[in-house]
Amino acid sequence: MQVRTLLKLSIAAAIATIAMKSAAWWITDSVGLLSDAMESFVNLASALFALAMVTIAQRPADDDHPFGHTKAEYFSSGFEGLLIAGAAVGIIWAAVNRFAHPQPLESLGWGLALAVISSGLNWLLAHRMMRASVEQRSIALEADARHLYTDVWTSAGVVVGLAAVWFTGWTWLDPLLAIGVALNILREGVHLAWRSVDGLMDSAVEPEVRAQIDRTLAQFEHPTIRFDHLVTRRAGQRRFVDMHMHMPAGWTLGRAAALRTDVEQALMSEVPGLRASIQLLPSDVEAQFNEHEATPP
């Protein structure tokens, strides 16, 4: 299933869970269920923004963006992290206010039933989205899936806590539970925001992808052929690798270029979405780099 289709399903699921969780809060007047409903609003906003960024990321390269638009997905992840953090602050505020003004909870049975149903819906969608994020290497889809998983665990904690309130009558458990939910949401938000920043800083490809590249190059290595100065970076679903390939100086340009084409095709077959850039050099020539070129004046 395509990334955009899954995000559209996420939007529909968010609307459905907002309705159910808001009804659960309205029935019970539980600040814990209110915190759960607020996170579903964040889910909706995040899914809408993720869909917009994925649409941009899928645009082909152009004159102004010769490497494509794939980094747009990182903005989705960062935006979602900020929204999650904002929701956490709002939940803590509501919980502290409930500590100061405790209120009895009503109709907990119906509220808990609605929370369980909405959590089951989110879990099914999150499981499918996480699998697809690995297949498609989409950080936007992964961020939305992780957020939905967080929502599932949040709802589970709320249900357990409210069940305890139901059996014990300790209403102070409700705001205490809400604060715990908020702290968990805040942790997830910080993680997503950092992932976004890390991606925008041209981080290297994942260790497993680098291992795939190394294994592919090993198939072409020979006493007269070697690779060095290999650097990688990732941008959304795309992966990039730059390197030097050394070969005998007596080879014709056509023979050298043909081997380079074989190496590039092998790399792109092994790592879908990879763009390889290989500079040809004679075996007795070493590239020179200015070690201070990145040092500010």
Q: How many domains does the chain have?
A: 2
**Is 54's pLDDT higher than 70?**
yes
Of 181, 200, 219, which marks where a domain is finished? 200
Residues 54 and 171 in one domain: yes
Residues 231 and 117 in one domain: no
Residues 69 and 191 in one domain: yes
Residues 161 and 264 in one domain: no
pLDDT band of 263, cuts 50, 70, 90 = very high
Residues 109 and 188 in one domain: yes
Model confidence pLDDT, tens digit, residues 61-93? 777 777 777 777 677 667 777 777 777 777 777
Model confidence pLDDT, tens digit, residues 25-49? 777 777 667 766 776 777 777 778 7
Distance CA 162, CA 168 (A): 10
Distance CA 213, CA 99 (A): 56
Question: Percent of the chain beyond pLDDT 70?
Answer: 79
Residues 181 and 258 in one domain: no
Rounded to an integer, the average pLDDT of 49-69 is: 76
Residue 34 maps to which CATH number?
1.20.1510.10
Of 200, 234, 260, which marks where a domain is finished? 200
Residues 83 and 181 in one domain: yes
Mean pLDDT of the chain: 76
Question: To which residue do tokens 């291992």 refer?
Answer: 211
pLDDT at 196: 72
Residues 256 and 177 in one domain: no
Of 142, 177, 200, which marks where a domain is finished? 200
pLDDT at 262: 93
Does 291 map to a domain? no
Q: Which residues span the domain enclosing 152?
A: 3-200
Model confidence pLDDT, tens digit, residues 158-191? 777 677 777 777 777 777 777 777 787 787 778 7
Question: To which residue do tokens 């599932």 refer?
Answer: 152
Residues 273 and 188 in one domain: no
Residues 163 and 35 in one domain: yes
Model confidence pLDDT, tens digit, residues 84-141? 777 777 777 767 776 776 666 555 666 677 777 877 887 888 888 788 777 766 766 7
**Is 291's pLDDT higher than 80?**
no
Residues 269 and 123 in one domain: no
Does 287 map to a domain? no
What's the whole-model pTM score? 0.53
Residues 137 and 215 in one domain: no
Question: To which residue do tokens 């980094």 refer?
Answer: 71
